[in-house]
Chain A
Amino acid sequence: MKRITTIVLFLFLGMQLAFAQGKVITGTVTSATDGSTIPGVQVIVKGTTTGTTTDMDGIYNLTVPASAATLQFTFIGMKTTEVEIGNLTTIDLVMEEDLLLLDEVIVVAYGVQRKEANTGSVSVVSEDQIKSIPVSSPEKLLQGKMAGVQVNNSTGQPGGATQIRIRGISSINASNEPLYVVDGVAVASGDYSSMTSTGNQLASLNPNDIASITVLKDASAASVYGSRAANGVILLTTKTGKKGALKVNFSARYGVGDIANDNDYRVMSPDEIYGYMRQALINSGKDPLTYSLYETGDNFFASPTLPGSVKTYDWADKAMDKSIYKNYQLSVSGGTDKTSYYTSMAFTDNQAILFGAGLKTYSFRTNIDQKVSDRFKIGTKVSLSHKEMIDKPNDAMYFVNPFWASSNILPWELPYNDDGSYNFKLPSGANTNFLAADEFNDQWSKQYKVNGSIYAEYEIIPGLSFKTNNSLEMMFNESRRWWDPRSSPAGEEKGTLQINNNRLERYTTTNTLNYSKTFADKHLVRVLLGQEAFKHKYQTNYAQGEELGARIPFLSGATQALSTVDFGYTSYTLLSFFGIVDYNYEDKYIFSGSLRRDGNSKFGINSRWGTFYSLAASWNMHNEEFIKNYDFVNQLKVRASYGTNGNDGIGAYDQYGLYSSGEYNGISMAYPDEDYFGNPNLGWEFNTSWNIGLDFAIFNKVQGTFDYYNRKTTDMLLDLPLSRTSGYPSLQSNIGELTNKGWELNLTYNAINTKDLSIDIRANIAHNKTTLDYLGEDVDEIADGFWRRHRLGGGFSDYYVYDYAGVNPATGDAMWYDKDKNLTDKYSEANRVFQGQIQPKLIGGFGIDVFYKDFSMSTSFTWKTGHNVYIMENRYVQSDGFNWPNNQNSGLLDYWKEPGDLTGTPRPLVTNGTNSNAWGSSRYLQKGDYLRLKDITISYNLPMSILEKAKISSLRVYVSGVNIWTLHDVGYYTPERPINGGGYIVFPEAKSITFGVDVGF
């Protein structure tokens, strides 16, 4: 980071060491905070390129021309200070810390930029804010940390997918995920898994290698990424070596966790379900004394309570395990004047809270930068990773899914027979024993991944440099799913094996010319011209064999008649030309513009090329004389931007009319694929947005950022229904429109800042509203599944549910509102209403960081409000007897018991036919609001006095808690559901505590 900083300062100040006649000035620079000397401070004669830097002891020695009047001292993290030279020959300086980091250099599109000179809406988190939090992929670190960035864990599975929405949802049929750029290269993100329930390409990045994460939110910041920028861009920058002695860091972490279940969502206990089912018998007019649950005459419910002689088993306890997290890291970094390097390796073993599931990752990274000459620099960044995900079927309502099975199997149905063998007579679990499935079946994927890039940078003339960056991303994945015959009841003696081998290749070349020059000391101009080419190729090789024996569970035993093979292939290319122009007048008025032309093979011949642009201006009012008089104002900046970008997140071949191959009359033939009519006009969804923002800092204490934006999607892809006489049901066309409007506020308050104690308080809050403006001629609604609809003038995928009205106090049966808002006991008369929305009205986060001497504590909360979640699976586990005979969720225990009872839970009935648990009933639609203590870390740095004796340079011990506490009212373990609505049996998150130690040598 500092290395980049240095380069940029060189660039911006146009500094060159010059030699001239004059006097020699020397001095020492120290820090006001702790009195230590500061190496590497830039010391220049103001208004010239004459300057030097302080040495390891903070001492500088500079020959200045006789005309020199002022020295300027600059260092990152410190306030830039100017000193009149006058007759002085020794100038010692005490530099004050710049808590607001106005001079901080941040990573932006195709380069870096001083924060003060930036015009766009960007959010940054740095290493310090994320370094001790155990996560399986770096983007998960963003949760609650940035205004307007909604991070959704749609699964709590280690290595699982993350959904991120920056400023709302922009599309119905194309992608809504942001573009991820690692060290300047757009990388594969999302789920490329097969055989496992979830996957995440970003999980191959070691979170500890990340130096900073920048999120580009508005058009000014993101539009130079053109056709891929519509959903925002997330820039991840990895660590580089710093000039200085070799640094070795070792860290070890160990964590344990349990399911995060703050509302005690659970299956009924044996006594509870016995009583509940017995009550259902009585309610249904059956005699518990004579009712047979299993065999004729078993009279299972004869006793009023569960007899003590009946053996029971705690299925849920077995399904939900303790999570164990182990992580070891070693990094070595350092550098000389010419070379810097950073290399790391890490191993993580994360056993999940789901019985038998887990993730192991091995990752290696090497970043090297070499200065070949003053003008020529080359470097490489390589990461290697291996990832093994062991999974259990957990994404569907199957009884091999331990989550699901344990919510349904009756406790007196036991997993083992008396002789210790597996019991498959489990009528309430479809005769499937997930313990047997766990022992014998396989479900895993192993991924091998390489990301490598090489860059070269050459300064053609001062101020003008050429850079080329060429990268390769390659991923191999092998995966396997094996259903062993021994995991099923006897009689099904043959197993089935599926394997899939995938390969992903991505190549990118980025070539840029960068020119920057200051004219007349006042006009800083920067021009960047670039060209980029990109190719993406993904193929899958699938094979399945049936009726394999358990002894050799490989495809070698498969017969031709019972095997299936399949091959899948996707490729697309992108070719781009782009430019950025920045103009900066004395750091007061800053204008920037970008233009990009993208050609993308996904689009039809008539609309293959798209042009995207942005214009932005910012005014640093704090640099104006009339504001400078107000001392308490540290920063006051207004920003405005306008621009367009596009969304290419569609299928690679959607533009084509396609023929598939099939079979007719015993031989192969070709027939048109009804999803591919062919649309040579198929083009990008455009996103046009404007943003106004205000950055301020006052009293050197409070810093804030406010943004208001409006982004409109036009040419949104929708399926236009066709006359069936065309042979096709619909045609994907660029016809729809939607708008996201919102605001974001980010505040930090540096409450206390003394030598021993500092307290920072952070908070962010954001509001976004999505409105569907146009869905096609005469189209008011588009169904999205059974109980959600996209609605003209409404939100994205609004819930459209049967209006549940609770329980009739007289009868204990469910009631609904009918069309006239009257109560009815008949489900068939229930009215369907729009109720609630999937997107939160407000999202935010806040936290406190406390540093006291060698101790520190940081906390981060995240919250959302104003949205609803549909807990679809409760239709089955809170079914009022519909799922008979099955175990049920304890949420039913407040069921109606006698006339006059006021409750929302109907009385149980055997095989409940009242539709009280109907599909799409508002009964299972709940407020999704939550507040979660996402992470808390307490750490202790051993004092130098001890460290010196032990000959180590730093030692830090810490404990970090994740998801320690959640406040919510959702009838499920976790309040989060997939971000586009829907989802069921969501893999719950773990509540974990991790202990760590970091040692530096």
Chain B
Amino acid sequence: MKNIIKILFVLMAFTIISCEDYLVEEPLTTTSNELTLSDFSGLSASTLGAYSPLYHSAWYGAGFYIISDLKANNAKSSPISSGRYQTNYSWQQDPSNTSGLWTRAYRTITYACNVLDELEAFELMPGEANQADVNHLKAENLFLRALSHFDLVRLFAQPYTYQPNGLGVPIVLKTERVSPERSTVSEVYAQVIADLNAAKPLFKASFNQEYRSGLADLKGVASADAVDALLARVYLTMGDYAQAATYATNVINSGNYSLYTEANYGSVWGTDAASEVIFEIWGNSSQTNAPYWAEIGYMYSPTGYGDVCASQDLLDLLASEAGDVRSNVFLEGPSNPGYFWTTKYPGKNGDRRQNNIPVLRLSEMYLIRAEARLNTGGDALADLNVIRTNRGLAAAVTITADDIFNERRKEFCFEGQIFFDYARLNKSLVRADEDGRITENKDVPFPSFLWAMPIPIGEMEANPNMVQNDNY
């Protein structure tokens, strides 16, 4: 009898001892943060995962570029529009419709922070990889964090060149449940530059070949050159022309990229890792965060949704000088003669809903340096003419700030740059061609509260420390 009781107690004791283990059930089809980030391959996969929000329809996948061109006179609502992007066209921005990029950019930031945080104290297991490989992951995440903060501060704050000490966006360096305050614009820029400077020496040239076999597009991931190119753009945006020129020169002199030619200009769009591209988003409809029907290519196609087409202003500018090959990347609507849609996003494998989206190109480096040299001294004209002569135009003999602005407009139309050119140059917007579709804010003076988008309502409600931009 007593033995039975003893046995029972022993049995019970066993159960109690093993119970904490018994009560751990980890998921199989997903993995916990701790497990995912506990080894090199998990960190590497998570680093690649941090890129995925870039292709979202609110960011490079469509909205971020389309809104820029549509707001700033390169594009207009087309006759076949069913209303998509109409509010952006009229700058009708209110806190209820600006969460798209805010959410996705902070997602990339936190994805990157997850990895960076882990790397702070990460110890490699023997035989796993070496420190150079770990450094490369760190570099990529720093690049992504910088790019995200840069895009956020350009959208949700007044330009650095106008109010450097105005309210920027929250700087997030760690994934945690907090309610951060907005840093100033210049603090955000300082963080962007710090991240990029930290990233640059950490890249390992052979990393992708070693660890990412099967990667579709080597230019779809960050590189040291991409860091230089982004720094050139960041400094240009800040009006720091000397630094801009320095980093642009780094890229130009790297010899890793070559300009499109007159002959191939019409056919390079849609190809992987084209010669000018320094960093791009590799598009594929099977990819996580693929915008599918909302993708930029479908929105810019007269046989797709085609809500947005080229403005007559832009077409006229391109036509003002004969021979410009950049006039050739347009398609007249089959049912809408007189209206033209860009063919920079022609689709891949017969599917218009998947496209590579160029983020940084070599021609931008020349035009950044031209603008920088025009302001600080140097042969600006030579840089401008490198582009002009490559695009089927005669070399110019004089150069003005307007020449560069117009050249950028022709060169980067539908690549999401022009709105930020207006903003950093503090230039007022006047829109001539609009078919009566703009319901308000046809012309937007600078300065105006409209140059900063309102903080999304969800953020305002969830974050007690958040301060809204003026006039919203």
B221 adjacent to A665 (CB under 8 Å): yes
Task: Collect the chain A residues with CB atoms within 8 Å of residue B288's CB.
Answer: 662-664, 669, 671
**Cβ of A735 to closest chain B Cβ, rounded Å:** 13
B103 adjacent to A729 (CB under 8 Å): yes
Q: Which of B1-44 contact A (CB under 8 A)?
A: 1, 4-5, 8, 12, 15, 19-20, 22-34, 36, 42
Once A658-B27, A666-B282, A721-B461 are accepted as A-B contacts, the answer to whether A727 and B110 lie under 8 Å apart by CB is: yes
Once A656-B27, A665-B221 are accepted as A-B contacts, the answer to whether A726 and B49 lie under 8 Å apart by CB is: no
Once A724-B456, A727-B110 are accepted as A-B contacts, the answer to whether A670 and B45 lie under 8 Å apart by CB is: yes
B172 adjacent to A672 (CB under 8 Å): no
B23 adjacent to A573 (CB under 8 Å): yes
Chain A residue at minimum C-beta to C-beta distance from B11: A511
Once A663-B287, A671-B288, A724-B103 are accepted as A-B contacts, the answer to whether A573 and B25 lie under 8 Å apart by CB is: yes
How far, in angstroms, from A866 to B215 measured CA to CA in the complex? 62
A568 adjacent to B29 (CB under 8 Å): yes
Once A569-B27, A575-B23 are accepted as A-B contacts, the answer to whether A727 and B111 lie under 8 Å apart by CB is: yes
Stretch at the interface among B175-183, B377-385, B401-409, B420-428: B175-183
- Could you give, for residues 47-79 of chain B, a 1 whenever the CB lies within 8 Å of some chain A CB and a 0 otherwise? 111111001000000000000000000000000
Once A460-B1, A659-B30, A659-B46 are accepted as A-B contacts, the answer to whether A531 and B12 lie under 8 Å apart by CB is: yes
Q: Which of A224-267 contact B (CB under 8 A)?
A: none
Once A571-B25, A575-B23, A722-B177 are accepted as A-B contacts, the answer to whether A669 and B15 lie under 8 Å apart by CB is: no
**Cβ of A670 to closest chain B Cβ, rounded Å:** 4
**Cβ of A855 to closest chain B Cβ, rounded Å:** 55
Q: CB within 8 A of B30: which of A466, A658, A722, A731?
A: A658
Chain B residue at minimum C-beta to C-beta distance from A677: B177
A599 adjacent to B33 (CB under 8 Å): no
- Could you give, for residues 653-691 of chain A, a 1 whenever the CB lies within 8 Å of some chain B CB and a 0 otherwise? 100111111111111111111101110000000000000
B459 adjacent to A723 (CB under 8 Å): yes
Q: CB within 8 A of B48: which of A513, A572, A667?
A: A667
How far, in angstroms, from A643 to B264 measured CA to CA in the complex? 79
A726 adjacent to B31 (CB under 8 Å): no
B29 adjacent to A567 (CB under 8 Å): yes
B15 adjacent to A674 (CB under 8 Å): no
Residue B439 at the A interface, CB < 8 A? Answer: no
**Cβ of B179 to closest chain A Cβ, rounded Å:** 5
A674 adjacent to B107 (CB under 8 Å): yes
B45 adjacent to A669 (CB under 8 Å): yes
Q: CB within 8 A of A667: which of B1, B180, B212?
A: B212
Q: Which of A787-823 contact B (CB under 8 A)?
A: none
How far, in angstroms, from A727 to B109 measured CA to CA in the complex? 8
Once A672-B110, A722-B462, A724-B99 are accepted as A-B contacts, the answer to whether A664 and B27 lie under 8 Å apart by CB is: no
B458 adjacent to A729 (CB under 8 Å): yes
Task: Collect the chain A residues with CB atoms within 8 Å of residue B176's CB.
Answer: 726
Residue B186 at the A interface, CB < 8 A? Answer: no
Residue A857 at the B interface, CB < 8 A? Answer: no
Once A663-B287, A669-B49 are accepted as A-B contacts, the answer to whether A731 and B456 lie under 8 Å apart by CB is: no
B178 adjacent to A723 (CB under 8 Å): yes
B282 adjacent to A665 (CB under 8 Å): yes
How far, in angstroms, from A660 to B180 measured CA to CA in the complex? 27
Chain A residue at minimum C-beta to C-beta distance from B466: A723
**Cβ of A998 to closest chain B Cβ, rounded Å:** 46
Q: CB within 8 A of B27: which of A653, A663, A722, A723?
A: A653
Q: Which of A552-589 contact B (CB under 8 A)?
A: 567-569, 571-573, 575
Task: Collect the chain B residues with CB atoms within 8 Å of residue A848's CB.
Answer: none
Residue A608 at the B interface, CB < 8 A? Answer: yes
Task: Collect the chain A residues with CB atoms within 8 Å of residue B46's CB.
Answer: 659, 669-671
Q: CB within 8 A of A671: which of B23, B27, B111, B221?
A: B111
Task: Collect the chain B residues with CB atoms within 8 Å of residue A724's CB.
Answer: 99, 102-103, 106, 456, 458-459, 462
Residue B297 at the A interface, CB < 8 A? Answer: no
A672 adjacent to B33 (CB under 8 Å): yes
- Could you give, for residues 157-188 of chain B, a 1 whenever the CB lies within 8 Å of some chain A CB and a 0 otherwise? 00000000000001010011111100000000
Residue B220 at the A interface, CB < 8 A? Answer: yes
Once A567-B29, A665-B51 are accepted as A-B contacts, the answer to whether A723 and B179 lie under 8 Å apart by CB is: yes
B25 adjacent to A727 (CB under 8 Å): no
Chain A residue at minimum C-beta to C-beta distance from B177: A726
B52 adjacent to A659 (CB under 8 Å): no
**Cβ of B454 to closest chain A Cβ, rounded Å:** 14
B177 adjacent to A461 (CB under 8 Å): no
How far, in angstroms, from A656 to B25 measured CA to CA in the complex? 10
Task: Collect the chain B residues with CB atoms within 8 Å of residue A721's CB.
Answer: 458, 461-462
B180 adjacent to A725 (CB under 8 Å): yes
**Cβ of B143 to closest chain A Cβ, rounded Å:** 15
Residue A600 at the B interface, CB < 8 A? Answer: yes
Residue B319 at the A interface, CB < 8 A? Answer: no
- Could you give, for residues 282-297 of chain B, a 1 whenever the CB lies within 8 Å of some chain A CB and a 0 otherwise? 1010111100000000
Residue A997 at the B interface, CB < 8 A? Answer: no
Residue B303 at the A interface, CB < 8 A? Answer: no
How far, in angstroms, from A656 to B12 measured CA to CA in the complex? 29
B221 adjacent to A658 (CB under 8 Å): no
A665 adjacent to B459 (CB under 8 Å): no
Most buried by A among B48, B458, B461: B48
Once A575-B23, A722-B462 are accepted as A-B contacts, the answer to whether A664 and B51 lie under 8 Å apart by CB is: yes
Residue A320 at the B interface, CB < 8 A? Answer: no
**Cβ of B306 to closest chain A Cβ, rounded Å:** 25
Residue A627 at the B interface, CB < 8 A? Answer: no
**Cβ of A783 to closest chain B Cβ, rounded Å:** 13
Residue B430 at the A interface, CB < 8 A? Answer: no
How far, in angstroms, from A665 to B31 measured CA to CA in the complex? 21
- Could you give, for residues 303-324 of chain B, a 1 whenever the CB lies within 8 Å of some chain A CB and a 0 otherwise? 0000000000000000000000
Residue A601 at the B interface, CB < 8 A? Answer: yes
Residue B400 at the A interface, CB < 8 A? Answer: no
Residue A533 at the B interface, CB < 8 A? Answer: yes
How far, in angstroms, from A74 to B289 measured CA to CA in the complex? 74
Residue B240 at the A interface, CB < 8 A? Answer: no
Q: Which of B250-290 contact A (CB under 8 A)?
A: 282, 284, 286-289
Most buried by B among A665, A669, A725, A726: A725
Residue A918 at the B interface, CB < 8 A? Answer: no
Residue B417 at the A interface, CB < 8 A? Answer: no
How far, in angstroms, from A724 to B459 measured CA to CA in the complex? 6
Once A666-B282, A723-B462 are accepted as A-B contacts, the answer to whether A569 and B28 lie under 8 Å apart by CB is: yes
Task: Collect the chain B residues with CB atoms within 8 Å of residue A663's CB.
Answer: 284, 286-288
How far, in angstroms, from A573 to B18 measured CA to CA in the complex? 13
- Could you give, for residues 508-522 of chain A, a 1 whenever the CB lies within 8 Å of some chain B CB and a 0 otherwise? 000101000000000
A727 adjacent to B106 (CB under 8 Å): yes
Task: Collect the chain B residues with CB atoms within 8 Å of residue A657's CB.
Answer: 32-34
Task: Collect the chain B residues with CB atoms within 8 Å of residue A726's CB.
Answer: 106, 110, 172, 175-178
Residue A13 at the B interface, CB < 8 A? Answer: no
How far, in angstroms, from A531 to B27 measured CA to CA in the complex? 26
Chain A residue at minimum C-beta to C-beta distance from B46: A670
How far, in angstroms, from A513 to B7 measured CA to CA in the complex? 13
**Cβ of A544 to closest chain B Cβ, rounded Å:** 15
**Cβ of A611 to closest chain B Cβ, rounded Å:** 15
B52 adjacent to A669 (CB under 8 Å): yes
Task: Collect the chain B residues with CB atoms within 8 Å of residue A665's CB.
Answer: 48, 51, 215-217, 220-221, 282, 287
Task: Collect the chain A residues with CB atoms within 8 Å of residue B179's CB.
Answer: 723
Q: CB within 8 A of A664: which of B48, B106, B456, B462?
A: B48
- Report 18 cross-chain contacts, Cβ distance below 8 Å, ordered by A residue: A569-B29, A658-B27, A659-B31, A659-B42, A663-B287, A663-B288, A664-B282, A664-B287, A667-B214, A667-B216, A678-B32, A721-B458, A723-B178, A724-B106, A724-B456, A725-B170, A726-B106, A726-B172
Nearest first, the 5 closest Cβ-Cβ pairs linking A and B are A727-B110, A666-B216, A662-B288, A671-B49, A669-B48
**18 more CB-based (< 8 A) A-B contacts, given A571-B25, A664-B282, A724-B102:** A460-B1, A466-B4, A513-B8, A599-B20, A600-B23, A602-B25, A657-B34, A660-B30, A663-B287, A664-B55, A664-B288, A665-B51, A666-B284, A669-B49, A670-B31, A671-B288, A672-B33, A721-B462
